[in-house]
Each structure stands twice: as C-alpha cells, then as structure tokens.
Chains A and B, each alone.
Chain A
C-alpha cells in the first residue's frame, strides 16, 4: 500500500536551516509529481511546493521563494525539502503528498507530517 513517511523536523532557531525528507513506498515514485503542504498550529492548510516526477519543473509558495529548495531521489524513493533562513512563521507541520493526475491533479495520499518549530 502507498506510504509516505516524513522526517527531519525539529526545533530550530530563526535563521537556521532544516532538511525535511519524505520516504515513499507502495507506488512507482519516479512517475508521480510530489507536493509539500504545511499547517501552522491551529491554522489552515498552506500549499508549499511541488516537483514534477522527473524534477523538470518545481514551484514554491511566494513566502519560501529563495529560501527553499525541493529535490527528489527517484532511485531511493525519497523527496526532500530544504528550508533555509527559517522564520518564526515557518513553524508548522509539513506534509508530503502524492499527486494523482487526470486532466488536472489532486493530492490523493498524504504522509503523517513532521513538525518544524522555529523558536529562539
């Protein structure tokens, strides 16, 4: 069955960096676009980033442009999100999610999330 398991979260000071990972299994990872979505404590969902199946196209929410990179290792079924120059407002649970494509797309499988807490 499809599984997505995030890791790499933790408590970090403002200005520092963190690398999140998402280990995928149960599907052919190299054929799916992947996304990151975050949720600040007590708040709603915020789309963060995506990467095409082959890494050919990437996109970010405006607040992370220039501070984040997304990458994937298709041979190891792993998705990464590198967060740099972290801010208090980056505190959130970060979910990775798999996109299923029709003429459009939707996020049909989600991980359990990893908590990033930015605090001095």
Chain B
C-alpha cells in the first residue's frame, strides 16, 4: 500500500500568513494527488486535484504543486475560514490512502 505522510501534523498561524503543508507518498504517484479541507463537523471538501488544479470556486490563495512523491499545499494570505484540517489523498493506486491530516490553528 502507498503510505501518505503529511507534515506538519499541526500548524499555528495568523490571518494574513502564508503557510505550506507537505505530503509525501511512499512511492511515486505521478500527479494523482488530491487535497481536501475539513471544518468539523462538516464533511471534507475538495480543494485541489491532479496535484495543482484548483477546483472551480476555490479561492486563488490556495495552490498546489509537486509530482512523483513530494507535494505541497500553499495558502497565501490566510483567511479566518481557512483554519481547518487539510488532507492529501493518493488517487493513483488502491487503497486510495489519505495523509493523517494537518490541523491549521490560529
């Protein structure tokens, strides 16, 4: 199985900051990497697919990059609604594992 490892597990930041979350796959997954945001108690929401493609309607302050095994999610100019937990997901090979999550806190 492909293991997805996110870092950091938690992150403290302030409104207006720029933050970067990394996701590493245990073997290459090309760009088959999705990023989701979850604000409890809600269901996750897709932000980015194919490692770097923003879902329509997602603010442009979100961006993704990477290919192979190393990926990043960057948020430029944090807004209050961005404080949430973020997950990466391998969509290359079943089981379609998620990272353990990164909790972004004020």
Contact = CB atoms under 8 A, between A and B. Distances in A.
Interface in B23-49: 31-32, 34, 36, 38, 42-46, 49
Interface residues of A, number: 23
If over half of A's interface residues share one DSSP class (helix, strand or loop), that class is named, otherwise mixed; here it is strand
Contacts of A113: 43
B49 A62 contact: no
A60 B95 CA distance: 7
Interface residues of B, number: 27
Given A107-B34, A110-B44, A45 B87 contact: yes
Nearest to A63: B95
Contacts of B31: 104
Nearest to A103: B50
Interface of A: 35, 37, 44-47, 50, 59-62, 95, 102-108, 110-113
Given A45-B101, A108-B46, 5 more contacts: A50-B94, A95-B44, A107-B34, A107-B44, A107-B89
11 contacts: A37-B98, A44-B85, A45-B38, A45-B98, A47-B98, A95-B43, A104-B31, A106-B55, A107-B89, A108-B46, A112-B43
